Chain A
Amino acid sequence: GAVVSQHPSRVICKSGTSVKIECRSLDFQATTMFWYRQFPKKSLMLMATSNEGSKATYEQGVEKDKFLINHASLTLSTLTVTSAHPEDSSFYICSATGLAGVLEQYFGPGTRLTVT
């Protein structure tokens, strides 16, 4: 089946620094990628929808200047957490869907971000 990877799987950074998380579709072209955040013991929260070649659409309450999303190619989307703070510590998951008409969605393994 289709595979989506995320890098890094875990990252620890200091408060005030920026962290970039990559989401790659390894064997298919992902026209749309979604970024989610999961708080401990909570459900996923959709942060933004990223379409290749266009600006991401952010959900209400998600700061676009803090969570920069770039979907530069059909196989790569990046999420950059800028000026990270401890409250940004979370589990970030991306998912990808293929060409129009493909119904399946493929999830990455997630990235654990810890801001100290």
Chain B
Amino acid sequence: SQQGEEDPQALSIQEGENATMNCSYKTSINNLQWYRQNSGRGLVHLILIRSNEREKHSGRLRVTLDTSKKSSSLLITASRAADTASYFCATDGGGADGLTFGKGTHLIIQP
């Protein structure tokens, strides 16, 4: 089941602007991961943030995690047309049941 909720469901911005997507979840987690999916393709892992971390960077990506609010955000800076994709968050509760995915945010970067 998909317990995570990303918002917005869809986001359209101009190239060069920053894009922020949020993810909320309900249970305690070991880590939270963000994935990207281009149309018709499989998921690609972007970044993993552990429950004891508050912020993590990778290139133009910045992820924050607030375990008290059970939420995370993914910021893509200086967006490019090639960033157009769907972005999913997934939580790992550390048990035997693997990841729980959100429904995703569809990001469109207008050239």
* A positions within 8 Å CB-CB of B: 1, 10, 32, 34, 36, 38, 41, 43-46, 49, 59, 91, 93, 95, 97, 103-107, 109-110, 112
Q: Please, what's the 1-or-0 string for B4-28, where 1 marks a CB less than 8 Å from any CB in chain A?
A: 0000000000000000000000000
* B positions within 8 Å CB-CB of A: 1-2, 30-31, 33, 35, 37, 39-45, 48, 86, 88, 90, 92, 96-99, 101, 103-104, 106
Known A-B contacts A104-B104, A107-B2, A107-B101; the reply to A46 vs B96 at CB < 8 A is no
Name B's interface SS. Answer: strand
- Whether B106 and A91, one on each chain, are in contact in the complex, defined by CB atoms closer than 8 angstroms, is no
Chain B residues in 8 Å Cβ range of A38: 98-99
- Whether A49 and B45, one on each chain, are in contact in the complex, defined by CB atoms closer than 8 angstroms, is no
Can you show 10 pairs from A to B with CB atoms below 8 A apart? Answer: A38-B98, A41-B30, A43-B33, A44-B45, A44-B99, A103-B106, A105-B88, A105-B104, A107-B99, A109-B98
